[in-house]
């Protein structure tokens, strides 16, 4: 009873405070969740996909403007072939079956990451999702797919180097704003908070440039067990932080 009362108190508190504008989440722990239950890894990934749905709904309800989820990293191709196949299958299922609900919630679905290695069928689903939800004005849901922050930064550096070579800009003109304009989705503000589940405390090549002044919140909860209360607790923890951006308080 006390646990339920505490959960309600946390949720109510999250309802009355202004939520972070941009929440980014490293969804970690699907495999460990499945292993603890003697289930195949794909069962953990399926349960994790259900949590994505809940998290999107809750962020929309709270008024969060941007939610970025680390769905598949460029390093995840190193996983066993069967697991990668299962993950891509789940992605196809999500893109085929969630678009109508996202539209009903006024959610705009966007993607960041390299598309060259993705199958043509997945690229087609991505483009279809972007087109169908492009006019929605509510929460912007960004899926980081085949994404690696180091390669994103190298991409930006190459583009700027070509512009200098071609005489369109001088090297002295390059500043932080110009560099950031060559990253994926430059119109999206940097995350206010990055949450990582499962107890791991590292960024794992996620939003390295954009995380310069983000607050980090690491929780022990495995991603398939993350719920609305978990999100509310993270938001409450965020509001305890003093964000100074290098200045004195």
Catalytic residues: 28, 76
Contact status, residue 231 vs residue 7, Cβ threshold 8 Å: no
Q: Crossing angle for the helix pair 41-62 and 81-97, nearest 10 degrees?
A: 40
Quote the CA–CA distance of 235 and 14 in Å, as a whole number: 6
Collapsing DSSP to helix, strand or coil, 27 comes out as coil
Quote the CA–CA distance of 148 and 76 in Å, as a whole number: 10
In 3D, which of 143, 54, 172 has the Cα closest to residue 105? 54
Contact status, residue 130 vs residue 110, Cβ threshold 8 Å: yes
Quote the CA–CA distance of 41 and 26 in Å, as a whole number: 17
Contact status, residue 203 vs residue 26, Cβ threshold 8 Å: yes
What lies within 8 Å, CB to CB, of 47 at 6+ separation is 30, 33, 34, 224
Q: Given the DSSP bridges, would you call strands 66-73 and 22-26 parallel, antiparallel or unpaired?
A: parallel
Quote the CA–CA distance of 226 and 243 in Å, as a whole number: 26
Quote the CA–CA distance of 117 and 137 in Å, as a whole number: 30
């Amino acid at each position: 009873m006390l646990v339920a009362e505490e959960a309600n108190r946390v949720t109510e508190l999250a309802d009355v405070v202004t939520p972070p504008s941009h929440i980014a989440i490293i969804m970690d722990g699907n495999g460990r969740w499945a292993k603890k239950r003697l289930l195949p890894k794909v069962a953990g990934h399926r349960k994790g996909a259900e949590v994505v749905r809940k998290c999107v709904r809750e962020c929309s309800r709270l008024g969060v403007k941007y939610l970025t989820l680390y769905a598949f990293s460029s390093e995840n191709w190193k996983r066993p072939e069967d697991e990668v196949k299962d993950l891509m299958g789940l992605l196809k299922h999500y893109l085929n079956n969630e678009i109508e609900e996202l539209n009903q919630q006024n959610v705009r679905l966007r993607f960041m990451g390299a598309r060259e290695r993705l199958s043509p069928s997945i690229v087609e689903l991505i483009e279809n999702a972007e087109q169908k939800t492009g006019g929605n004005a509510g929460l912007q849901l960004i899926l980081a797919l085949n994404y690696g922050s180091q390669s994103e930064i190298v991409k930006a550096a190459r583009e700027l180097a070509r512009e200098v070579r071609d005489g369109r800009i001088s090297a002295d003109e390059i500043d932080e704003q110009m560099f950031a304009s060559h990253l994926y989705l430059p119109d999206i503000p940097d995350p206010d908070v990055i949450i990582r589940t499962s107890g791991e405390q590292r960024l794992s090549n996620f939003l390295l440039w954009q995380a310069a002044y983000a607050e980090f919140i690491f929780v022990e909860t495995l991603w398939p067990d993350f719920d609305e209360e978990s999100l509310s607790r993270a938001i409450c923890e965020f509001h305890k932080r003093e964000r100074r951006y290098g200045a004195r308080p």
